[in-house]
Each structure stands twice: as structure tokens, then as C-alpha cells.
Amino acid sequence: MDMLWNGWGDPAKAAPLPDSVTGLLRDLLGVTPRSTPALGLEDIRLPAPTVGPAALKALAAAVGGEEHVRTDAESRIRHTRGKSTPDLLRIREGDVADVPQAVVLPAGHDEVLAVLRACAAHGLAVVPFGGGTSVVGGLAPQRSAFVALDLRRMNGLLDLDPVSRTAVLQPGLRAPEAEALLAGHGFTLGHFPQSFEWATIGGFAAARSSGQASAGYGRFDEMVLGLTLATPEGTIETGRAPRSAAGPDLRQLILGSEGAFGVITSVTVRIRPLPETRLYEGWRFGSFEEGVTALRRLAQDGPRPTVLRLSDETETLIGLAQPDAIGAGSAPGDAGCLAITGYEGTAEDTAHRRERAAAVLTDCGGTPAGAEPGERWAHGRYSAPYLRDALLDVGAFAETLETAAFWSRVPGLYTAVRTALTDTLTRAGTPPLVMCHISHVYENGASLYFTVVSAQGEDPVAHWTPAKHAANEAVLAAGGTISHHHGVGTDHRDWYVREAGPLGVSALRAVKRRLDPEGLLNPGVLLPTD
Amino acid sequence: MDMLWNGWGDPAKAAPLPDSVTGLLRDLLGVTPRSTPALGLEDIRLPAPTVGPAALKALAAAVGGEEHVRTDAESRIRHTRGKSTPDLLRIREGDVADVPQAVVLPAGHDEVLAVLRACAAHGLAVVPFGGGTSVVGGLAPQRSAFVALDLRRMNGLLDLDPVSRTAVLQPGLRAPEAEALLAGHGFTLGHFPQSFEWATIGGFAAARSSGQASAGYGRFDEMVLGLTLATPEGTIETGRAPRSAAGPDLRQLILGSEGAFGVITSVTVRIRPLPETRLYEGWRFGSFEEGVTALRRLAQDGPRPTVLRLSDETETLIGLAQPDAIGAGSAPGDAGCLAITGYEGTAEDTAHRRERAAAVLTDCGGTPAGAEPGERWAHGRYSAPYLRDALLDVGAFAETLETAAFWSRVPGLYTAVRTALTDTLTRAGTPPLVMCHISHVYENGASLYFTVVSAQGEDPVAHWTPAKHAANEAVLAAGGTISHHHGVGTDHRDWYVREAGPLGVSALRAVKRRLDPEGLLNPGVLLPTD
């Protein structure tokens, strides 16, 4: 099944907003219904592909037949950009400026190498395409003559070592498929980002994804033990041991490279036994500050829950901590801040961690809210992007952004980003609701994930761009990183360059020039073009 | 205090071998006393420095005065090579082929940059020098015109954030000094490698050190949150958050770069509260295989002790698991394999982990051996290099090497390396005793640390070189990494190049060329020279 071309996910899961929410949006934010009807896929006008027959023939030869090279309009539109809100707004208006010339589907590492050779021979850039879920412009290169390298045919479990607890996965495996394959052997990867239903193993690696259970299972980049990278100059294979002192860690150079250094063609990951028990529950805190202190104590001194999240007052009030409950009338209206704690593992281990964590949370001023908020969060954990579609449909604007910092900087970063977003959008005439949660904790710091909802106004992308830029400036000024788990893409690139510094970026460009001397790979994504 | 110039550590801690051990070495390995008397420092003949007065003047200007530029024989000899057994044997014979032209002592980041500029202007290579404890040729560049950049004046605690639990340390801080400074604030770094008494923070980062308590505190590269790197082309600063999705992790490109990309001038580390409790104890297993399974279970399913080690049958028999006890008559002679488990933390946490770990170890066939072996191990944890000096003094050869692999490859790797060492040295007429232990465990694999003792024979370095090469080949063939925590240096370089592969190495060389276009930094260390 394909993802909805102009929205998120499985069209069958779309759900309109309840009237109560529509009313709230109107009263609170001045949201008014869209005046222009949405375009259908068949209404989109595409420029004819500029890729010639010789190039198409070479691509077909690289991937074992012309059936694996697609130039039809639907395929091209479905590989245009990713799933940020500006991406959706643009495609809904028929803006296909970033459309690929063709979609190429290789079946394995050698075919990827062959595609790269064919593209080099015909002057085509290459955008690796997994689930297509980038929200940072990672699929919109700064070259119009490019092909989308769709990895969906590379979706196998290549090896599983139950003793070492490692598995070798192909990059085009979607997360649910990967979990199903591993579950057949009694294992789980434990990577459950909000994009879980659609995103792929290769994409997780390329963009340093982090899942909702990162407190227990770690970030995706912490799960990766080895990678194979296909580049225009050949192959890099990494990972002979879990840890090594043999030079710089090449895995960590490939992780986060966002397709700019090569195409990830296999990923060796650590796997864990399927948990006997999964248990999620809610806790209430009087303030975000109090809750942050509680999360920090658990992250630093333990015990570490598997899932650990905290919504700020606004997010708690609106009920976005449990997207499925919005408008249901039960969650909204609660005061204070809701935290979700989750425990997965053996029955003994989860019981022990839960008991000790409860003591810490209570000591930090928390009040147990029982299993219901936890179960509701778990039920709605992948719902937020569907909710966004519904919001866009009724004329609201909704977007998210995220960052991370050391603990002592978290309060200042929280205030700085909220203020930047609120001030900019208010000045533009679309005062927003800004909500925030912490969803990833470390001994030394945490992530902050912001959700912004406002009226769309005259031109929602034009309204949003300065607000997003102001938020990026606030992130850098307050000592945060420009992305905790969405990546750099093209949207964050200019701020990333400032974060990494000119010499650091220059070192990465030297790597890119060595691996991709003609600059074919995702030009302008991650690193500026020459 | 300076380290012994021709051996290890504090001369006051040197202890001759008991007669019983000397007898054992003679009877078992044919070790006979050295026939040549050892040279004194004053007997070493040095070539006159080739560095001219203009260069010395520029260096003095870079570091705030000529008192911080040393060209005397003692300083130069003390900065010649590191502390591998071949290093010690060569310097004891007066071989100073790798002597620096001068020793330069900068006081801070800007002075390091100034030294790099001065060296570029005068065609001098630069070898960053921390504790001088490299055992892989990391201080022996492939250029004779070089200066040793001794970082001892950069030994401060620059910042400590008790909320985020981070500290900024200068690179020349020795580990005990760092621990003392942190203890003043109630914190510990928790990094206790065998080189603890002498090695420095910068060296730990540059060579990806791993300490004896890595099961609890992590490897050094896992403790590092930020780094500052001074290069001939400027400065790189990394680490705005504990984790980030903003591109490849530049920290992991600097960690393990062994001075070939730049000079690490500050390291931001995670710190932890000083433990309330420290408790070490012994466990016995019938075989190495049985013990390996027990360690794997703890590493994969927990609870994780802070220290977790397992000696094979030979090491247990000889008693090297507790170096201080060798010849004392109590430990040697025990059958099976000795494991050491250690717990550090709060009283409650250590008690809980210890109790649950004991259940796992018992379930895996282990028998508790009480506190004595643990305490004895803890007392002698930094003694092995002193023991090596005593062995060299009586005409024995003693050296170590280490690797790591995924769990399923550990048994094959163990056998392959043991066989390679035994066969090669036996063929050379100096049959060895080969001992091994696991001292670092991960969910997905473990390290193997080998100790080799034999007679020195005619020319011990000539005997050892083919044995070491055979071990390196065995490591690669059996799927291990060429180093788990000693690093690459010059000794492992050719095998490292094969492990990383030509394109991976080429990417790192591209980084080096960008940061060090004239190839001044540690030429030939880590990466081959052009």
C-alpha cells in the first residue's frame, strides 16, 4: 500500500476532527475553513521528464528491467518531497517543482552501485528514498535532473545471530515489516518513532531517527552495529565489533549522512528479546519545571523506564499527549503536566523498575494518574500526523520542530523557542498555540519537541517560514542542537552549518568529495553545494 | 613526577619478582637472566637536534617563553616512543631512532594553534604527547623532524555543570588528577584503565580508551559529549547536546583520530556521583566457555555489574588475574576460570544488582569465591605494567594485545589468536605462555585481552614481530577488530587499513588532508603517509 500522496499514512485511517475541536480552533485561533478545494492526484500538472531514452535504458539495465524504472506521473508525484507541513501544503496546491525525473527501484547493493554508475554517466543526481517521511526537506535536492532511488525492493532480513543478538536488515524494510520479521525469531528492534508505520531502516540510519521508547531501547544510531554504504566510488563496510579503538568510528560518519555520502544498503542492528510485559501509565506534575526535574532524576539515577515523556501545561491542557482523545472530552481541561512512563521487559524487571520509578516520581512531586493515560497514549502513539491532516483540512496550520540540549540549558531553550514561535506568528497575524513535550532523555540532557497550531492565514508557508527561522535562531542562541531526531535536510542546513562550524563542515565536504566527486548524491541536502 | 624513562610508572613502586616465579619462568619457559647490563639514561647517545634557532624561537614565541621549549637530552629521551614492550626493549638498548627534536609545552588552545603554525612555517611534524603510554607505536611518527607537543601544562578542570552532570577537562590532565578534581565536587569520571596512573584525558579520547569499569561507566568514547580540536587549518568545536540528528557525529570522527587530525584541547565528559559503595568479588567457573556464557547473560539481560572480567584457565592458573598475588602462593594453582564482579553505586543499587547477578552467575554454573579475589584484583589493578618491567629485568619477554568481536565469534577468535601466538613463538624457539581475559562486555560482544610471556631469546623484538603479525592476521581472519582499546598507532596501521577498507581509509585521508594539508600531524600514525 502506498502512503497518501498529499497527506499522511493510510487513507483508511483518516478521521475528521470533532465539531468541538473545530469550534475551539475557530474561537481560540481564528481558524476558518479553507476556501479552495483540494486538488486530486489527476489534477496535478507535471513537467515532462527531461531524462532521455539512453539514460532510461541505462537505469533499466542497472535494475534488471524497465519495469523497475518508473516515469509515470503518479510515481513521480508520490516521490516529490517529504511530509513536512510545507511539503503537504505545496503538493496540495499542485506545486511539483521538486519532482524527480524518474523513480528507480534497485533490488540489491550491486544494483544500487550500477544505478550510481548510470546516473554518473548521464548527469543525473540521486535521491535515496525510503518511506518518504522526511519533514526537513531531505528529499528536495538542489538539482532538477534527479532520480528517486526507491529502496522498497530491498526489504529483507538478511541474517540474524541469536547469540550475538544482531540482525542484518535491508534499508527498504519498513519498521512494521522489520518488527514482524524479527518477532518471528522472538526478537524486537524496539524502534518506534511517530513515523513507525511508514519509515524505513535505511531512513532511520541516514537521518539518526529516535523512537518513542528510546529511554529503554536507545536511539536508532545507538542500535546500529554495522553499515554497508554504496557510493559512486565504491563500497564501505563497517562494524566488525560492537565497539573498537580502530580509528574514528566510520559508522558514526555514515549515520546522519542523509544520502549525501552514499546509499545505505544494509544495516546491522542490535536486537532484543520480545518483551514479556508492556505497561504504560500516567503521572501528573504541577508544572513543567517540576516534571523536568523528575525526568532528569530518572535519566540520571534510574531506574530508567522504557518510555518516558512529559507534556508541558499547554499540551496537557489541549490533550495532545493523547492525540486520540482530542475532542473526546476526557483528557482536555486537566491542569498541570502529564507524564507518560512505560515499562517493557521481563515481568520481574518491569515490576521492579516500575516500583522504584514510582518512588522517585512521587518524591519529585508527581501524582499517579493510573493506566488510562498510558494506554491512551500507546493507542494514539502514531496518530499525530493523521491529526495534522485533519487540521490542515479545516484550515488550521499545524507543524512540529524539535531540538535537544544539556539539562541546564533545557529551561532557557524551552522559553526561547516558544517565544520565537509565538512572537513571529502573532506578528504575522496568526497567533499560535505552542505546545511542547520531552520525549527523549539522556543522563546529560533531553529533547524538546514543539507543536505549533494556528490559523493558516493568507499564505501559510509564507507565514511559517519566518517563524521556523526564528525558532532555528533561538535554538542556536540558547545552546540547543538544530535537530534531535528529524535531521538536517535542506530546511535546517544553513543553521546546521553554523552549528557544526566552517571547519567541521569543510571536513565533511572533503568526505563527500572523495565518495561522490561529481556531487550526484542528494545535492544540497545536509551540506551546501559548491 | 616523571614516568620511568625505560619502564613503567613510579620507580618507587618497582618490585622484583619472587624467586619462586623466576624459577617457574626458567623451568617452564627456559627464561635465563639477561647477559647485558641495562643502560642508564646518561649512557644514551642522542643525535644533535636538527631544529634550527629560528624554529626554536618561533616555538618559544608560540608557548610564551623558551622555558617551555626543551631540547635537552633527558626531555627528548623521555618523549621517545611509548610503553609497548618493543618500545622498552629498544630504549633499554639505547635505540633512540624515534627521538623528537624538541619538546614543546603549550598552556592552552591558542598556544597549540600557534605551535601548529610555527611548525608549519618550519617544516616540523607534531606528535601530541599526553601520558606517553601508547603501546601501539602512536608516538613514533614516520618523520624524523618532529616535535613532541607535551600537554602537561593543560591540566585544568575548566567547567563543571552539576545539573547536566558534565565537566570540561583539559587534555593534559592525568586520570588521577581528573578524579581528584571531580571528587572535590562529589563526582567521578569512572574511567580506570590499566594506564590510569599516567595516561591523560586527551590520550583517552584520541585513542578510544576503555577502562576496567566499562561495564558500569562505559568506554571513554561513550563518556565524551564534546571536544575541541586544534588543527593547522583552525578549530573544530563539537557537542551542543548529548545526542543530535544534526548530521554525522563529528565527535566520533575526532575520537580515535590519534593526533592525526589535530590536537584535542578540551574534552567535555559526562560525570557521575561518587559511588557510596564499592564492592568486588570473585566467581569460579569450570571452563572459559562456561564463564563466557555467564558474562554474556549479564551483558545482555542484566543486571550489569560495574566491573566484569573473566580470566581463562591459563591466566587463572598463573594467577595473573591478581598480579599482586603472583608468587604469593595463594592464588596460583586454582583450577577453572576466575571471574571478577564489581559493583559501584548507591548502597541500595549495588545490593540489588549484586543479588540478582549472583543468581544469574549461579544459574550459569558459577561458584562464589568470596570477596578476597575481588579485593586482591582491585588492589593490583594497575600493577601489571610494573610486573612486566620485573619480567623484562629477569630475561623474560612479556607483552599484551587485545581485540573484540561479536559474541558468536568470540570462541573462534580466542582460539585463532592463541594458536597464532603459540605457533609463531614456538617455531622461533621461545615457546610462550599465552593467557587471556575478557575485561569489557557489551550486549553484542566482548573484548579479548591476551598476555604473552616467553623467554626473550636472542633478539626479542625480532622474535615478537612475526608473532604479533600472525596475531593480527588471526584477528582479521576470525572477524575481530584490530584493537578494542589500545588504538592503531603505527603497529596496527596496515591491518587497520584492511579492516576499514580502502574507501573508508580514503575518506579519512580526505579529512586529514583538509585539516592538515601539509601532513604535519603524527605522520604515519593511524593513516599511511602519501
CA distance B439 to B298: 13
Distance from CA of residue B113 to its chain's centroid?
Answer: 27
Distance from CA of residue A113 to its chain's centroid?
Answer: 27
Contacts of A182 (CB under 8 A, 6+ apart): A157, A160, A167, A188, A189, A271
Give the H or E element holding residue B484: none
**A333: confidence class by pLDDT, cuts 50, 70, 90:** very low
Bridge partners, residue A106, by sequence: none
Q: What is the pLDDT of residue B18?
A: 83
* pLDDT at A330 exceeding the cut of 50: no
Highest mean pLDDT among A122-131, B41-50, B331-340: A122-131
* pLDDT at B375 exceeding the cut of 60: yes
Pick from A415, A417, A435, A426: which is nearest to A455 by CA? A426
* pLDDT at A303 exceeding the cut of 80: yes
Are A258 and A522 contacting, i.e. CB atoms less than 8 angstroms apart?
Answer: yes
Q: Does A225 contact B at CB distance below 8 Å?
A: yes
**A331: confidence class by pLDDT, cuts 50, 70, 90:** very low
Q: What is the pLDDT of residue B19?
A: 84
Q: Quick one: cell of B76? A: 627528548
CA distance B396 to B392: 5
Contact A245 B270 (CB under 8 A): no
Q: Does A514 contact B at CB distance below 8 Å?
A: yes
Q: What is the pLDDT of residue B329?
A: 41
Q: Work out the burial of residue B529: count CB atoms within 10 Å of its CB; fewer than 13 is exposed, 13-18 middle, 19 or more buried.
A: exposed
Q: Quick one: cell of A418? A: 516558544
CA distance B423 to chain A (A): 25
Judging contacts by C-beta atoms under 8 Å, the chain B residues touching residue A135 are none
Contact A209 B166 (CB under 8 A): no
How do residues A243-283 score in pLDDT, each as one tens digit? Answer: 999 999 999 999 999 999 999 999 999 999 999 999 999 99
A482 is known to lie in a ligand binding site: no
**A329: confidence class by pLDDT, cuts 50, 70, 90:** very low
Q: State chain A's mean pLDDT as an integer.
A: 95
Contacts of B12 (CB under 8 A, 6+ apart): none
Contact B445 A241 (CB under 8 A): yes
Low-confidence winner among B32-41, B268-277, B495-504 (lowest mean pLDDT): B32-41
Contacts of A307 (CB under 8 A, 6+ apart): A212, A213, A215, A216, A280, A340, A341, A342, A343, A344
A134 is known to lie in a ligand binding site: yes
- How much is the average pLDDT of A315-335? 64
Strands B396-406 and B445-455: antiparallel
Pick from A379, A387, A322, A323: which is nearest to A7 by CA? A387
CA distance B326 to B310: 17
In sequence order, what E strands does A175-257 have? 187-188, 224-231, 234-238
A497 is known to lie in a ligand binding site: no
Q: Integer distance in angstroms from the first to the last C-alpha of chain A?
A: 39
Strands B166-169 and B157-161: antiparallel
Contacts of B50 (CB under 8 A, 6+ apart): B101, B144, B145
Nearest Cβ partner for A484 among B245, B508, B510: B245
Q: Does A360 contact B at CB distance below 8 Å?
A: no
Contact A513 B510 (CB under 8 A): yes
A483 is known to lie in a ligand binding site: no
* pLDDT at A326 exceeding the cut of 80: no
Q: Does A48 contact B at CB distance below 8 Å?
A: no
Q: What is the pLDDT of residue B318?
A: 87
Contact A253 B255 (CB under 8 A): no
* DSSP-derived secondary structure letter, A9: S
Q: State chain B's mean pLDDT as an integer.
A: 95
Low-confidence winner among A77-91, A268-282, A318-332, B382-396 (lowest mean pLDDT): A318-332
Nearest Cβ partner for B242 among A165, A442, A506: A442
Judging contacts by C-beta atoms under 8 Å, the chain B residues touching residue A506 are 233, 514
* pLDDT at A382 exceeding the cut of 60: yes
Per the document, the length of chain B is: 530
Best of B240, B251, B267, B509 to substitute, by most chain A Cβ atoms within 10 angstroms, is: B240
- How much is the average pLDDT of A194-209? 98
* pLDDT at A4 exceeding the cut of 80: yes
DSSP per residue, A43-62: G---PPP---HHHHHHHHHH
Are B320 and B311 contacting, i.e. CB atoms less than 8 angstroms apart?
Answer: yes
CA distance A470 to A19: 33
CA distance A522 to A134: 13
Pick from A152, A178, A173: which is nearest to A79 by CA? A152
Q: What is the pLDDT of residue B34?
A: 75
Q: What percent of chain B has pLDDT over 70?
A: 97
Contact A444 B165 (CB under 8 A): yes
- How much is the average pLDDT of B242-266? 98
- How much is the average pLDDT of B455-480? 96
**A427: confidence class by pLDDT, cuts 50, 70, 90:** very high
* pLDDT at B328 exceeding the cut of 60: no
- Per the annotation, binding residues of B for FAD are 128-134, 258-264
A259 is known to lie in a ligand binding site: yes
A388 is known to lie in a ligand binding site: yes
Judging contacts by C-beta atoms under 8 Å, the chain B residues touching residue A247 are 256-258, 488, 496, 500, 508, 526
pTM above 0.90, yes or no: yes
Radius of gyration of chain A (CA): 23
Contact B507 A236 (CB under 8 A): yes
CA distance B24 to A172: 61
**A320: confidence class by pLDDT, cuts 50, 70, 90:** low
In sequence order, what E strands does B135-262 have? 146-150, 157-161, 166-169, 187-188, 224-231, 234-238
CB < 8 Å from B in window 181-210 of A: 207-210
* pLDDT at B520 exceeding the cut of 90: yes
* pLDDT at A322 exceeding the cut of 80: no
Q: Is A449 a catalytic residue?
A: yes
A493-500 vs A502-515: helix axis angle to the nearest 10?
Answer: 110
Q: Does B514 contact A at CB distance below 8 Å?
A: yes
Q: Considering only alpha carbons, which residue of chain A is nearest residue B163? A: A408
Judging contacts by C-beta atoms under 8 Å, the chain B residues touching residue A482 are 244, 246
CB < 8 Å from B in window 103-132 of A: none
Contact B246 A496 (CB under 8 A): yes
- How much is the average pLDDT of A52-74? 98
CA distance B133 to B145: 21
**B250: confidence class by pLDDT, cuts 50, 70, 90:** very high
Q: Considering only alpha carbons, which residue of chain A is nearest residue B493? A: A246
* pLDDT at B321 exceeding the cut of 60: no
CA distance B502 to B508: 10
A132 is known to lie in a ligand binding site: yes
Q: What is the pLDDT of residue B456?
A: 94
Pick from B267, B280, B209: which is nearest to B485 by CA? B209
Size of interface A-B (CB pairs under 8 A): 268
- How much is the average pLDDT of A327-337? 60
Radius of gyration of chain B (CA): 23
Q: How many helices (H) and strands (E) does chain A have?
A: 19, 18
Nearest Cβ partner for A246 among B251, B406, B481: B481
Q: Quick one: cell of A231? A: 557510493
Bridge partners, residue A161, by sequence: A166
Domains of chain A from N-terminus onward: 48-150 (3.30.43.10), 157-273 (3.30.465.10), 277-379 (3.30.70.3450), 384-486 (3.30.300.330)
CA distance A433 to A422: 8
**Other CB atoms within 10 Å distance of the CB of residue A180:** 12
For cell 629560528, the residue is: B54
* pLDDT at B330 exceeding the cut of 60: no
Q: What are phi and psi of A273, to 5 degrees?
A: -60, 145
- How much is the average pLDDT of B422-429? 97
Contact A500 B242 (CB under 8 A): no
Contact A210 B243 (CB under 8 A): yes
Q: Is the dihedral of CA B509, B511, B517, B521 positive or negative?
A: negative
Q: Work out the burial of residue B25: count CB atoms within 10 Å of its CB; fewer than 13 is exposed, 13-18 middle, 19 or more buried.
A: buried
- How much is the average pLDDT of A154-166? 98
Judging contacts by C-beta atoms under 8 Å, the chain B residues touching residue A208 are 244-245
Contact B247 A502 (CB under 8 A): no
Q: Which residues of B362-386 are buried (b: 16+ CB within 10 A; e: fewer)?
A: eebbbeebeeebbbbbbebbbbbbb
Judging contacts by C-beta atoms under 8 Å, the chain B residues touching residue A478 are none
Catalytic residue of the set A343, A386, A449, A496: A449
Q: Does A489 contact B at CB distance below 8 Å?
A: no
Q: Quick one: cell of B155? A: 591540566
Judging contacts by C-beta atoms under 8 Å, the chain A residues touching residue B302 are 349
**B389: confidence class by pLDDT, cuts 50, 70, 90:** very high
Contact B164 A408 (CB under 8 A): yes
**Other CB atoms within 10 Å distance of the CB of residue B94:** 13
Residue B159 exposure: Cα atoms within 13 Å on the Cβ side: 12
Q: What are phi and psi of B186, to 5 degrees?
A: 85, 15
**B333: confidence class by pLDDT, cuts 50, 70, 90:** very low
Positions of B marked catalytic: 449
Q: What is the pLDDT of residue B37?
A: 72
Best of A188, A222, A244 to substitute, by most chain B Cβ atoms within 10 angstroms, is: A244
The 3-state secondary structure of B62-114 reads HCCCHHHEECCHHHHHHCCCCCCHHHHHHHHCCCCCCCCCEEECCCCHHHHHH
Contact B236 A442 (CB under 8 A): no
Q: Does A474 contact B at CB distance below 8 Å?
A: no
CB < 8 Å from B in window 296-355 of A: 296, 300-302, 346, 349, 352
Q: What is the pLDDT of residue B324?
A: 62
Q: Is the dihedral of CA B183, B189, B193, B197 positive or negative?
A: negative
Bridge partners, residue A147, by sequence: A102, A126
